[in-house]
Amino acid sequence: MAQIEIRDLGIDYRKPKSNEVFSAVDSVDLSVEKGEFVTIVGSSGCGKSTLLMAVAGLVDLTRGSIEIDGKRVDGPGPDRAVVFQEASLLPWRSVRGNVKFGLEMQRWSGGDLNERAMQMIRLVGLGRFSDYHPHQLSGGMRQRVNIARALAVDPEVLLMDEPFGALDAQTREIMGTELLRIWERAKKTALFVTHDIDEAIFLADKIVVMGRNPGHIKEVIKVDLPRPRNESILDSDAFHELRKRLRAHLAEDMSSMQLVQEVA
Protein backbone atom coordinates (compact mmCIF):
# COMPACT_ATOMS: atom_id res chain seq x y z
CA MET A 1 0.00 0.00 0.00
CA ALA A 2 1.09 3.53 -0.70
CA GLN A 3 2.32 5.70 2.16
CA ILE A 4 -0.14 8.55 1.58
CA GLU A 5 -3.64 7.65 0.45
CA ILE A 6 -6.01 10.49 -0.33
CA ARG A 7 -9.52 9.35 -1.21
CA ASP A 8 -12.37 11.44 -2.60
CA LEU A 9 -11.13 14.46 -0.67
CA GLY A 10 -13.31 17.57 -0.52
CA ILE A 11 -12.72 20.76 1.44
CA ASP A 12 -15.32 23.52 1.66
CA TYR A 13 -14.91 26.93 3.19
CA ARG A 14 -17.66 29.15 4.40
CA LYS A 15 -16.95 32.63 3.14
CA PRO A 16 -16.66 35.07 6.02
CA LYS A 17 -19.65 37.35 6.55
CA SER A 18 -21.90 35.39 4.25
CA ASN A 19 -23.32 31.91 4.23
CA GLU A 20 -21.91 31.16 0.82
CA VAL A 21 -19.96 27.91 0.71
CA PHE A 22 -16.87 27.83 -1.41
CA SER A 23 -15.33 24.55 -2.47
CA ALA A 24 -11.53 24.79 -2.42
CA VAL A 25 -10.81 21.16 -3.26
CA ASP A 26 -13.14 18.48 -4.59
CA SER A 27 -12.96 14.79 -5.51
CA VAL A 28 -9.22 14.47 -5.09
CA ASP A 29 -7.72 10.98 -5.18
CA LEU A 30 -3.98 10.59 -4.86
CA SER A 31 -1.48 7.97 -3.71
CA VAL A 32 2.12 8.74 -2.85
CA GLU A 33 4.70 5.98 -2.42
CA LYS A 34 7.24 5.93 0.36
CA GLY A 35 10.31 8.00 -0.55
CA GLU A 36 8.62 9.57 -3.54
CA PHE A 37 9.07 13.26 -4.37
CA VAL A 38 5.74 14.61 -5.57
CA THR A 39 5.25 18.16 -6.76
CA ILE A 40 1.83 19.74 -6.96
CA VAL A 41 1.56 22.44 -9.58
CA GLY A 42 -1.25 24.70 -10.71
CA SER A 43 -2.21 28.34 -11.09
CA SER A 44 -3.18 30.33 -8.03
CA GLY A 45 -6.52 29.45 -6.51
CA CYS A 46 -6.43 25.81 -7.61
CA GLY A 47 -6.42 24.57 -4.03
CA LYS A 48 -2.89 23.16 -4.07
CA SER A 49 -1.91 24.77 -0.78
CA THR A 50 -5.21 23.76 0.79
CA LEU A 51 -4.55 20.18 -0.23
CA LEU A 52 -1.11 20.30 1.37
CA MET A 53 -2.45 21.87 4.58
CA ALA A 54 -5.07 19.13 4.72
CA VAL A 55 -2.35 16.49 4.63
CA ALA A 56 -0.57 18.46 7.36
CA GLY A 57 -3.74 18.22 9.45
CA LEU A 58 -4.11 21.99 9.67
CA VAL A 59 -7.33 22.13 7.66
CA ASP A 60 -10.55 20.25 8.37
CA LEU A 61 -11.80 17.87 5.70
CA THR A 62 -15.38 18.19 4.50
CA ARG A 63 -15.50 14.90 2.56
CA GLY A 64 -13.27 11.91 2.00
CA SER A 65 -10.18 10.86 3.91
CA ILE A 66 -6.42 11.10 4.10
CA GLU A 67 -4.39 8.19 5.44
CA ILE A 68 -0.70 8.06 6.18
CA ASP A 69 0.75 4.56 6.68
CA GLY A 70 -2.84 3.40 7.10
CA LYS A 71 -3.53 5.91 9.88
CA ARG A 72 -6.25 8.48 9.34
CA VAL A 73 -5.14 12.12 9.53
CA ASP A 74 -7.17 14.16 12.01
CA GLY A 75 -4.65 16.80 13.05
CA PRO A 76 -0.94 17.55 12.98
CA GLY A 77 1.31 14.65 13.91
CA PRO A 78 4.97 13.79 14.39
CA ASP A 79 4.93 11.75 11.15
CA ARG A 80 4.65 14.99 9.15
CA ALA A 81 6.46 18.32 9.15
CA VAL A 82 5.65 21.44 7.18
CA VAL A 83 8.00 23.87 5.46
CA PHE A 84 5.93 27.02 5.10
CA GLN A 85 5.97 29.49 2.27
CA GLU A 86 6.93 32.30 4.60
CA ALA A 87 9.78 30.99 6.72
CA SER A 88 7.74 31.65 9.89
CA LEU A 89 10.87 31.74 12.00
CA LEU A 90 10.38 33.05 15.52
CA PRO A 91 12.28 36.33 15.37
CA TRP A 92 13.41 36.24 19.00
CA ARG A 93 15.08 32.87 18.58
CA SER A 94 18.45 32.22 16.99
CA VAL A 95 18.84 29.83 14.05
CA ARG A 96 19.56 27.06 16.52
CA GLY A 97 16.61 28.06 18.71
CA ASN A 98 14.29 27.93 15.72
CA VAL A 99 15.52 24.52 14.59
CA LYS A 100 14.99 23.30 18.16
CA PHE A 101 11.35 24.38 18.16
CA GLY A 102 9.84 21.25 16.67
CA LEU A 103 12.09 19.03 18.78
CA GLU A 104 10.95 20.83 21.93
CA MET A 105 7.37 20.11 20.96
CA GLN A 106 8.31 16.44 20.84
CA ARG A 107 9.86 16.73 24.29
CA TRP A 108 13.47 16.31 23.30
CA SER A 109 15.79 17.85 25.84
CA GLY A 110 19.35 18.58 26.88
CA GLY A 111 22.38 17.48 24.87
CA ASP A 112 20.45 15.33 22.40
CA LEU A 113 18.30 18.28 21.47
CA ASN A 114 21.27 20.52 20.90
CA GLU A 115 23.21 17.96 18.95
CA ARG A 116 20.30 17.08 16.72
CA ALA A 117 19.63 20.75 15.98
CA MET A 118 23.26 21.43 15.10
CA GLN A 119 23.37 18.37 12.87
CA MET A 120 20.40 19.67 10.88
CA ILE A 121 21.83 23.19 10.70
CA ARG A 122 25.04 21.75 9.24
CA LEU A 123 23.02 19.63 6.81
CA VAL A 124 21.45 22.75 5.31
CA GLY A 125 24.84 24.46 5.23
CA LEU A 126 24.35 27.04 7.98
CA GLY A 127 26.86 25.71 10.54
CA ARG A 128 28.53 29.09 10.92
CA PHE A 129 25.27 30.90 11.42
CA SER A 130 23.69 28.92 14.25
CA ASP A 131 23.74 31.90 16.62
CA TYR A 132 22.36 34.41 14.12
CA HIS A 133 18.85 35.74 14.41
CA PRO A 134 16.38 35.58 11.49
CA HIS A 135 16.58 39.30 10.70
CA GLN A 136 20.31 38.87 10.07
CA LEU A 137 19.73 36.21 7.40
CA SER A 138 18.88 36.43 3.70
CA GLY A 139 15.64 34.99 2.35
CA GLY A 140 17.38 31.87 1.09
CA MET A 141 19.08 31.28 4.44
CA ARG A 142 15.78 31.65 6.27
CA GLN A 143 14.25 28.99 4.08
CA ARG A 144 17.19 26.70 4.86
CA VAL A 145 16.41 27.15 8.56
CA ASN A 146 12.75 26.48 7.79
CA ILE A 147 13.75 23.20 6.09
CA ALA A 148 16.17 22.25 8.89
CA ARG A 149 13.43 22.80 11.47
CA ALA A 150 11.11 20.44 9.60
CA LEU A 151 13.78 17.78 9.00
CA ALA A 152 14.92 17.87 12.63
CA VAL A 153 11.80 16.12 13.91
CA ASP A 154 12.57 13.27 11.49
CA PRO A 155 9.13 13.13 9.86
CA GLU A 156 8.01 10.36 7.51
CA VAL A 157 6.57 12.96 5.17
CA LEU A 158 7.93 16.41 4.39
CA LEU A 159 5.28 18.90 3.28
CA MET A 160 6.50 22.01 1.47
CA ASP A 161 4.26 24.93 0.56
CA GLU A 162 6.01 26.99 -2.13
CA PRO A 163 9.05 27.33 0.11
CA PHE A 164 11.05 29.14 -2.56
CA GLY A 165 8.18 31.26 -3.86
CA ALA A 166 9.52 34.49 -2.40
CA LEU A 167 13.12 34.00 -3.53
CA ASP A 168 14.75 35.48 -6.60
CA ALA A 169 15.22 33.21 -9.61
CA GLN A 170 18.87 32.44 -9.03
CA THR A 171 18.58 31.68 -5.31
CA ARG A 172 15.57 29.59 -6.17
CA GLU A 173 17.55 27.43 -8.56
CA ILE A 174 20.36 26.96 -6.03
CA MET A 175 17.85 26.06 -3.33
CA GLY A 176 16.19 23.52 -5.61
CA THR A 177 19.47 21.68 -6.22
CA GLU A 178 20.28 21.96 -2.53
CA LEU A 179 16.89 20.55 -1.56
CA LEU A 180 17.44 17.54 -3.82
CA ARG A 181 20.85 16.93 -2.22
CA ILE A 182 19.28 17.03 1.25
CA TRP A 183 16.33 14.93 0.18
CA GLU A 184 18.57 12.26 -1.35
CA ARG A 185 20.38 11.97 1.98
CA ALA A 186 17.31 12.15 4.22
CA LYS A 187 15.14 9.89 2.01
CA LYS A 188 11.82 11.37 3.05
CA THR A 189 8.56 11.23 1.19
CA ALA A 190 8.03 14.77 -0.05
CA LEU A 191 5.00 16.77 -1.16
CA PHE A 192 6.04 20.06 -2.71
CA VAL A 193 3.60 22.75 -3.83
CA THR A 194 4.74 25.25 -6.45
CA HIS A 195 3.43 27.32 -9.32
CA ASP A 196 6.81 27.26 -11.07
CA ILE A 197 6.80 24.73 -13.90
CA ASP A 198 10.57 24.20 -14.07
CA GLU A 199 10.75 23.73 -10.33
CA ALA A 200 7.90 21.23 -10.46
CA ILE A 201 9.68 19.10 -13.08
CA PHE A 202 13.19 19.46 -11.71
CA LEU A 203 12.32 18.12 -8.27
CA ALA A 204 9.67 15.53 -9.02
CA ASP A 205 9.26 11.80 -9.41
CA LYS A 206 5.64 12.59 -10.05
CA ILE A 207 3.88 15.85 -10.90
CA VAL A 208 0.30 16.43 -9.85
CA VAL A 209 -1.33 19.05 -12.07
CA MET A 210 -4.29 20.80 -10.50
CA GLY A 211 -7.06 22.91 -11.99
CA ARG A 212 -9.52 25.37 -10.51
CA ASN A 213 -13.19 25.81 -9.63
CA PRO A 214 -13.22 23.69 -7.60
CA GLY A 215 -9.64 22.56 -7.12
CA HIS A 216 -9.21 19.14 -8.69
CA ILE A 217 -6.47 16.94 -10.14
CA LYS A 218 -6.21 17.26 -13.93
CA GLU A 219 -3.35 14.89 -14.53
CA VAL A 220 -0.60 13.02 -12.75
CA ILE A 221 2.64 12.93 -14.75
CA LYS A 222 5.51 10.57 -14.01
CA VAL A 223 8.96 12.09 -14.36
CA ASP A 224 11.63 9.61 -15.40
CA LEU A 225 14.60 11.94 -15.47
CA PRO A 226 17.64 10.26 -13.93
CA ARG A 227 18.88 11.13 -10.46
CA PRO A 228 20.94 12.70 -9.01
CA ARG A 229 19.91 15.73 -11.02
CA ASN A 230 21.58 19.05 -11.62
CA GLU A 231 20.86 22.16 -13.69
CA SER A 232 22.02 20.45 -16.90
CA ILE A 233 18.77 18.47 -17.18
CA LEU A 234 16.93 21.75 -17.66
CA ASP A 235 18.15 21.65 -21.27
CA SER A 236 17.35 17.99 -22.00
CA ASP A 237 14.68 17.02 -24.53
CA ALA A 238 12.69 15.07 -21.95
CA PHE A 239 12.57 18.19 -19.78
CA HIS A 240 11.38 20.34 -22.70
CA GLU A 241 8.69 17.82 -23.47
CA LEU A 242 7.38 17.90 -19.89
CA ARG A 243 7.54 21.66 -19.78
CA LYS A 244 5.41 21.88 -22.95
CA ARG A 245 2.82 19.56 -21.49
CA LEU A 246 2.56 21.50 -18.23
CA ARG A 247 2.42 24.83 -20.03
CA ALA A 248 -0.52 23.63 -22.05
CA HIS A 249 -2.36 22.70 -18.84
CA LEU A 250 -1.72 26.02 -17.17
CA ALA A 251 -2.55 27.99 -20.32
CA GLU A 252 -5.90 26.23 -20.40
CA ASP A 253 -6.53 27.38 -16.85
CA MET A 254 -5.49 30.90 -17.66
CA SER A 255 -7.83 31.22 -20.60
CA SER A 256 -10.76 29.89 -18.59
CA MET A 257 -9.90 32.44 -15.92
CA GLN A 258 -9.90 35.26 -18.45
CA LEU A 259 -13.25 34.11 -19.70
CA VAL A 260 -14.67 34.34 -16.20
CA GLN A 261 -13.28 37.83 -15.82
CA GLU A 262 -14.78 38.93 -19.11
CA VAL A 263 -18.18 37.58 -18.17
CA ALA A 264 -17.98 39.29 -14.80
Partner 1 sequence: MRSAEITAEPAEARQLSLSFLRPSRSAMIGTLAVLAFLVLWQIAPTMGWVNGRFTSRPTEVLLAAIDIFQNDDFLYHARISLTEFVAGFALAIVVSVPLGVLLGTSKIARHLIDPPLMALYIAPTLVLLPIMVIWLGIDMAPKIAVVFLGAVFPIVLNTMAGMSEADPKFLRMARSFGATKFDIFTRVLVPGSLPALLTGLRLAVGRAVLGVIVGELFVSQAGIGYQLNLYGSAMRIDRLLVYALIVSAFGYTLTVIVRSVENKVRDWRSK
Residues that bind partner 1 (CB under 8 A): 56-58, 76-78, 80-82, 84, 86, 88, 90-92, 101-102, 104-106, 133-135, 153
Cα separation, 76 vs 73, in Å, equals 8
CB of 252: closest distance to partner 1 in angstroms? 32
What backbone torsions phi and psi does residue 25 show, to the nearest 5 degrees? -140, 140
CB of 119: closest distance to partner 1 in angstroms? 18
Residue whose CB is less far from partner 1, 30 or 56: 56
List of residues 6+ apart from 21 with CB closer than 8 A: 12, 13, 14, 15
Cα separation, 243 vs 203, in Å, equals 13
CB of 28: closest distance to partner 1 in angstroms? 21
Residue whose CB is less far from partner 1, 100 or 229: 100
Q: Which residue blocks in the chain are alpha helix, DSSP H? A: 48-56, 95-105, 110-123, 139-152, 169-186, 197-203, 237-263
Residue whose CB is less far from partner 1, 1 or 92: 92
List C-alpha distances in Å: 46 to 26, 28, 190: 10, 12, 20
Residue whose CB is less far from partner 1, 105 or 259: 105
CB of 201: closest distance to partner 1 in angstroms? 27
Q: 204 near 33, Cβ under 8 Å?
A: no
Residue whose CB is less far from partner 1, 148 or 197: 148
Residue whose CB is less far from partner 1, 36 or 161: 161
CB of 141: closest distance to partner 1 in angstroms? 14
Radius of gyration of the chain (CA): 19
CB of 129: closest distance to partner 1 in angstroms? 15
**Which DSSP letter does residue 156 get?**
S
Q: At what angle do helices 169-186 and 110-123 cross, to 10 degrees?
A: 130
- Is 73 strand, coil or helix? coil
